[in-house]
Structure 1
Amino acid sequence: MSIHQATPPVDSLVLYKVRPARVVSVGDKIEIELDGGQSKRVRPKDIELLHPGPLRNLDELGPQAGELTEAWELLEGGETNLKDLTELAFNDFTPATAWAAWQLVAEGLNFSGTPQAIQAHAREVVEHKLAERASKEAAERDWQAFLDRMAKARPGPEDVERLGEIERLALNRSEHSRILEALGYQQTQENAHRALVRVGHWPTSFNPHPLRQGILMDDPALEVPALPDEERLDLTHLTAFAIDDEGSCDPDDALALDDGRLWVHVADVAAVVEPESPLEAEARARGANLYLPEGIINMLPAGVTERLGLGLQDVSPALSFALRVDTEGVLSGIELHRTWVRVERLTYAQAEERLMAGDPILSEMAAISERFQARRRANGASRLDLPEVSLKVEDDSVRIRPLPRLKSRDLVTDAMLMAGEAAARLCIDHQIPIPFATQAPPESGEEASDLAAMYSRRRCFKPTKLSLTPDLHASLGLPLYTRATSPLRRYSDLLVHQQLRAWLAGRSLLDEQQVLSRIGEADTASLAIRRGERLSNQHWKLVFLRDNPDWKGEGVVVGIDERKTVVLVPELAMEARVRVRDEVSLNQRLRLAVNEVDLPGLSASFRTLGVA
């Protein structure tokens, strides 16, 4: 007998979604009672009849003993209905046995379908489903065991692949981690970092920031062409100095003097990096060298630096700017030559000692640079004497050394700016398309004389832009300027050199559109490089503080707001925000102690110990 009825009677057993229900009353809508005593009014099409009843209480639907396996074996591969299946399995058709039979169908292993049409699965289908369920159960046990190891911070070798999921989130390569979610972490890069350190997958001092920016972390592996056979001016008789920071390994500029004329030699990188070469494409994609406290990642193969770095060989090829600086600091007599030079390498400290001792060559160079600097100052150049440090990581130990303000450093800085202005003037005079470095003047603010004012003044300047149109560079005090002295380190300088070399040789130049396209691509990569460097420097400064929990030092107040005071810590060249109880004033010195370091969060808190 079929149990199908258009309208189920009162006290019948029906199926509402996946739950059993008892029909209480029948009208325009059917009132049903759900387990738990809840009542609900539904449409006839929202329910399916399982048994006509009578069912007085849903509590009657308890477990039933029957011949379930035998029923399936008899029906295997065939079709039946709920009433026949119930009678076969339980030898009785009651609301309780009907519900027990339907649960067997709903389980989906041996049977599937509707109350009116139930399919008994073939044996191979059942065996496949059993295997799938066993596999899922094993996977779930494995997953729970993994989460238990993670909770105890004791992952095993078999967990490395799974931990890669968290690593992808930590390195900005995905936005979600099922593992972190299961462990109760919010889905952030910082929390992923914390989790990886906690379980020992990342070292406690691991620096993720360059990788987060998508920066390549190894040097290019490309062949370096031989230096072309071309005529060069021999300047090996002039004493030339490559002056740089201690430990510098990519010297790409040097200075020489010849009868009052200053020579600025620059490594002739464009001699081996042609505009359409694989080397050029690689340098463009990288944008610049990546300078990290733990080492340097070059935009060009190391072989380029070994061959062309000034002073790394007995004699070096260079692209050399010759110029004079008059008493007003104005450049004249600008020349450009392919040259051979012999270079002596000095650190800034060594050059400073020679200057203080009255070295005639360095002293004359300094006098030239001072005239040029005076002109820049008169044109509004800004001198922001903010703290700087040298930051190095060796054998997991962080070394921070403040950089003193040296006359030798000013000398080199101004000489490089002279070469940049000279290159810009040559390119304008000969209509050579290049990227000019420009900067609009600040909208407000006056020249600063103290640390707080310098901190504020720096925030008034807009970032330097690269443009095909020459214009003012406000903070340098130069009416026009291009970057031309670091072709080993920056793509924009290399591009300028390629254009200048093509002009010298009488070859065709890249047009404005080609220059614009190339500099746009490289600038995108350079932004990632600069951000990676800035965040990495902050990371290692925090590692230093974490490893020196008893650190105490001075901070200078450079900003005051309602909640916290902004201080600069000169010996770390680090900005911090601290809470102070007493009223403070700008440039006041406070004694500080480190309170807490959050390496993944890239922050540290300090407490004040009083006025310094």
Structure 2
Amino acid sequence: MTEFEGQIWAAQDNDDVNFICTTKRVKKKIKAINDKGRELRLIEDKLLWQHPSQAKGLEDWQTKLTTIQATVDSLRNDIDVALLWETALELEISGINELADLYFGDEITTEHLAALWRTLAEARFYFKRRGKDWEVRTASQVEELKTQREREQARAKAQALARDWIQKVAKTPIPAFPHLSTTQNDSGNGKSEVFQVKEASKDIMPFVERMESWLRGDSDKDVEELVSRTVGAVKLTPRELVFEILQKIGRMPLNADRDVIVAGLKPEFPAAVNEAAQAVPPWLPADTQSTTSVLFSIDDEETREVDDALSIEREGLLWKITIAIADPASVIHRGNILDREAMRRGTTVYLPTQTVLMLPERISCDIASLTAEQVRSSIVIRVWVDDQGEITNSSISREAIQVLRRLHYSDADTLIEQGEDDTAQRLRDLSTIATKLQAQRIAQGAFTLQRPEYRIRVNDGNIAVTMIDKDSKSRLLVAEMMVLANHIAAKYAYLHQVPLIYRVQDSPLEPITEEMTADPLGFHKVRRLLGRSSLSLQPSGHSGLGLSMYTQLTSPLRRFADLVMQRQLMAHLVGEQLPYNKDELLKVLETAERTARESRLVEGEAKKRWIMQYFKQTWGNQPLKVLVINDVKGGYKVEMQPWGVEAYLATSNRLEFGQLVTAVADKIRVKAGSIRLKIQ
């Protein structure tokens, strides 16, 4: 053995065969030079056929290799692989040596074998490799492989067609709300346009139908992959892009609810869920069960899911507050079809265009809703407080109740300020207690930030924006009573060792003072200081609310997490086995919380788009006041007053943070939910 052995071999590399020149052997391991002049190591088992010639060195190896490769290529050009397959199949011949003998006859060289191997490797329809040898495929196998290739080629062609078509259609502009007969286009240049639908050609319709199915929730990797390649260029999500494409070609109504469809929300319930809801009988109290009268519920005018109602009365030196909470757990049991659907939805979603319920209307708006003058099952939380708002006692029970009167917030505010009947006085009593409860929480570190809030409703393209009265006494009253009820429920669970999910919040990074919250920029300063919020199986403080422990169960008709907490607490109250252990609680609640976060994001994005459309339609070039928040490149981030909507003010002027300035709209991008302003 020398330092340059010089043997020339045809060596196997999976399906391929390459010529190598050995340089050295150590037992069964071989060092060699490949056809590209690179060193490699391989085992003897990879060697197929030795060439009769010998290389004397690297230069001689390259010379001989050139001759060998030319001979192999020439032989390959003469091989009719289909003829070889037909003959081999007929004569039942298999194996590389037998096939070479069949086709070439005479003397078989290393070049013949290498040429045949490479040809067979490229003719996988007809032959298949097994280790170091080749077998002839049957006629049925060949036909199946050809059909498969035709399908793959057709698929590749269809994908190329779909890709080019998507990219072309994606570039066609479409207004954010094309169903409006004339609207400013979304480029923000102020021009008006009427959107014209352009139908797709027949050859692309199969892919269009697949996009429709994908948007409805069917899995389709091809659609997802092709759409994902385009979204970056148009700054849309895959679902937004497909929605817009379908609108552009007339396969999606121009007045289709973008937010509902893109988010994958289902306003309609499956037939089986509706049937189950219709089969739930109205709740009736037992013959021996008395009915508790509760004075009133207070909600927004359009609210249909009435979760809570309130009463207050004097008992000696104390006030007895009754907080009645809807009890859907009395008719929806864990694991049934209604429960599974509620868990899947997670929460009711409130959009400007419609409300997507968590529970079927028959349950959430009828038999479980605390409808005035109807007897309902309820979780009743009673709290006794003194004149200073100090809690002296509390209780929780499941009772039959009847709400005597439904009030809207505007009604309640009017009664508090001007009313002279008993309801007005009870509202004032509750308002007084609520103010004292809030003051106690603030003394314990709670803080309140008076953020601007608005409600936006869309009906037949008409946009109505209403500011919510942040000084409403009835809203404060209801909010404080719900905080109180949730706090009492948390304390009950802790004292009775009922596994429950507590909502905790760490202390802020630094104390939040009254001066901070009163500052026009208070919200933006305070939110940077807030402690982390989380779910916990152990009670702990909630710094933002100023409470030692807190849970949530006061909105069971529209939050699945609240329904779960209610179900757990009620099982303990009536002596039943608890429906959830600790691990199950965390698993269910984490899923519900994730769904709720996604829903809030959908609500926020929808609200931003519609408020931008509102500004385009009704505000135009009218001046508006903006609050300067902080500086950004080329201008400032501002809040438009009174809505509290963030915007970008492009200006080189030097402005102070917290300063109010007058501006006008420069560019409004409805789809992006953004607006650029300029100094008037």
Q: TM-score, normalised to structure 2's length?
A: 0.67
Is 1:368 paired with 2:456? no
Alignment of 1:50-65 (within 5 A): none
1:589 aligned partner: 660
In structure 2, relative to structure 1, the CA distance for the partners of 1:384 and 1:67 (3 Å cut) is closer
Is 1:407 paired with 2:466? no
Residue 244 of structure 1 deviates from its aligned partner by: 0.9
2:409 aligned partner: 348
1:609 aligned partner: 678
Is 1:308 paired with 2:368? yes
2:347–2:357 CA contact under 8 A, matched in 1: yes
Residue 410 of structure 1 deviates from its aligned partner by: 1.2
Residue 321 of structure 1 deviates from its aligned partner by: 3.4
Instruction: Find the aligned partners of 2:280 and 2:497 in 1 and give their Cα distance.
Output: 31
In structure 2, relative to structure 1, the CA distance for the partners of 1:519 and 1:224 (3 Å cut) is farther
Partner amino acid, structure 2, of 1:569: M
In structure 2, relative to structure 1, the CA distance for the partners of 1:272 and 1:399 (3 Å cut) is same
Q: Extract unaligned runs of 5+ from structure 1.
A: 1-5, 33-38
1:446–1:457 CA contact under 8 A, matched in 2: no
1:268 aligned partner: 327
Task: Report SS of the residue matched to 2:258.
Answer: coil
1:198 aligned partner: 245
Partner amino acid, structure 2, of 1:410: L
Instruction: Find the aligned partners of 1:111 and 1:317 in 2 and give their Cα distance.
Output: 75
Partner amino acid, structure 1, of 2:324: H
1:254 to 293, 305, 309: 309
2:298–2:406 CA contact under 8 A, matched in 1: yes
Task: Report SS of the residue matched to 1:343.
Answer: strand
Q: Deviations over 1:212-264 (max 9, x none)?
A: 7x99974854353544516544444x6x2211112111112122333454332
Task: Report SS of the residue matched to 1:413.
Answer: helix
2:313–2:320 CA contact under 8 A, matched in 1: yes
Residue 105 of structure 1 deviates from its aligned partner by: 5.5
Partner amino acid, structure 1, of 2:90: G
Task: Report SS of the residue matched to 1:381.
Answer: coil
Partner amino acid, structure 2, of 1:320: V
Residue 432 of structure 1 deviates from its aligned partner by: 5.3
1:332 aligned partner: 392
Task: Report SS of the residue matched to 1:475.
Answer: coil
In structure 2, relative to structure 1, the CA distance for the partners of 1:577 and 1:320 (3 Å cut) is same
Instruction: Find the aligned partners of 2:667 and 2:218 in 1 and give their Cα distance.
Output: 28
1:150 aligned partner: 166
Residue 364 of structure 1 deviates from its aligned partner by: 2.9
In structure 2, relative to structure 1, the CA distance for the partners of 1:203 and 1:522 (3 Å cut) is farther
Q: Deviations over 1:287-333 (max 9, x none)?
A: 54343444444444433331131225544443333444433221235
2:612–2:669 CA contact under 8 A, matched in 1: yes
1:310–1:316 CA contact under 8 A, matched in 2: yes
Partner amino acid, structure 2, of 1:257: I
2:636 to 557, 561, 565: 565
Q: TM-score, normalised to structure 1's length?
A: 0.73
In structure 2, relative to structure 1, the CA distance for the partners of 1:407 and 1:69 (3 Å cut) is closer
Q: Deviations over 1:363-394 (max 9, x none)?
A: 33322322323333333321101121223344
Instruction: Find the aligned partners of 2:387 and 2:159 in 1 and give their Cα distance.
Output: 77
2:12–2:47 CA contact under 8 A, matched in 1: no
1:179 to 217, 226, 229: 226
Identity between Structure 1 and Structure 2 (%): 21
1:16–1:47 CA contact under 8 A, matched in 2: no
Instruction: Find the aligned partners of 2:440 and 2:124 in 1 and give their Cα distance.
Output: 89
Instruction: Find the aligned partners of 2:301 and 2:375 in 1 and give their Cα distance.
Output: 22
Q: Deviations over 1:174-209 (max 9, x none)?
A: 799442477696899825532552354667762279
Partner amino acid, structure 2, of 1:488: L
1:380 aligned partner: 445
Alignment of 1:23-422 (within 5 A): 77-78=90-91, 85=103, 108=123, 131-153=147-169, 154=200, 156-160=204-208, 162-163=210-211, 167=215, 177-180=224-227, 190-191=237-238, 193-200=240-247, 206-207=258-259, 211=263, 218=269, 220-221=273-274, 222=276, 223-224=279-280, 226-229=283-286, 231-236=288-293, 240-259=295-314, 261-273=320-332, 283=342, 287-305=346-364, 306-336=366-396, 338-359=399-420, 360-361=424-425, 362-395=427-460, 399-405=464-470, 406-422=472-488
In structure 2, relative to structure 1, the CA distance for the partners of 1:112 and 1:281 (3 Å cut) is closer
2:181 aligned partner: none
Q: Deviations over 1:411-441 (max 9, x none)?
A: 2212223333444455556665544443333
1:440 to 506, 518, 522: 506
Partner amino acid, structure 2, of 1:526: E
Instruction: Find the aligned partners of 1:426 and 1:568 in 2 and give their Cα distance.
Output: 42
Q: Deviations over 1:83-109 (max 9, x none)?
A: 984799xxxx9xxx9999999766528
Instruction: Find the aligned partners of 1:46 and 1:318 in 2 and give their Cα distance.
Output: 84
1:3 aligned partner: none
Residue 17 of structure 1 deviates from its aligned partner by: 11
Instruction: Find the aligned partners of 2:390 and 2:14 in 1 and give their Cα distance.
Output: 88
Q: How many equivalent residue pairs?
A: 583
Q: Extract unaligned runs of 5+ from structure 2.
A: 1-5, 25-31, 41-45, 54-63, 170-199
Instruction: Find the aligned partners of 1:276 and 1:113 in 2 and give their Cα distance.
Output: 53
Instruction: Find the aligned partners of 1:346 and 1:206 in 2 and give their Cα distance.
Output: 33
Residue 533 of structure 1 deviates from its aligned partner by: 1.9
1:461 aligned partner: 530
2:297–2:308 CA contact under 8 A, matched in 1: yes
Instruction: Find the aligned partners of 1:485 and 1:69 in 2 and give their Cα distance.
Output: 77
Instruction: Find the aligned partners of 1:127 and 1:50 in 2 and give their Cα distance.
Output: 40
Q: Deviations over 1:9-67 (max 9, x none)?
A: 9xxxx9999999999x99998897xxxxxx85789979998999997997997998999
Residue 77 of structure 1 deviates from its aligned partner by: 3.4
Is 1:541 paired with 2:617? no
2:599 to 514, 532, 538: 532
Q: Deviations over 1:554-585 (max 9, x none)?
A: 43223345676333334554334555422222
Per mean C-alpha deviation after superposition, the further-off stretch among 399-408 and 214-223 is 214-223
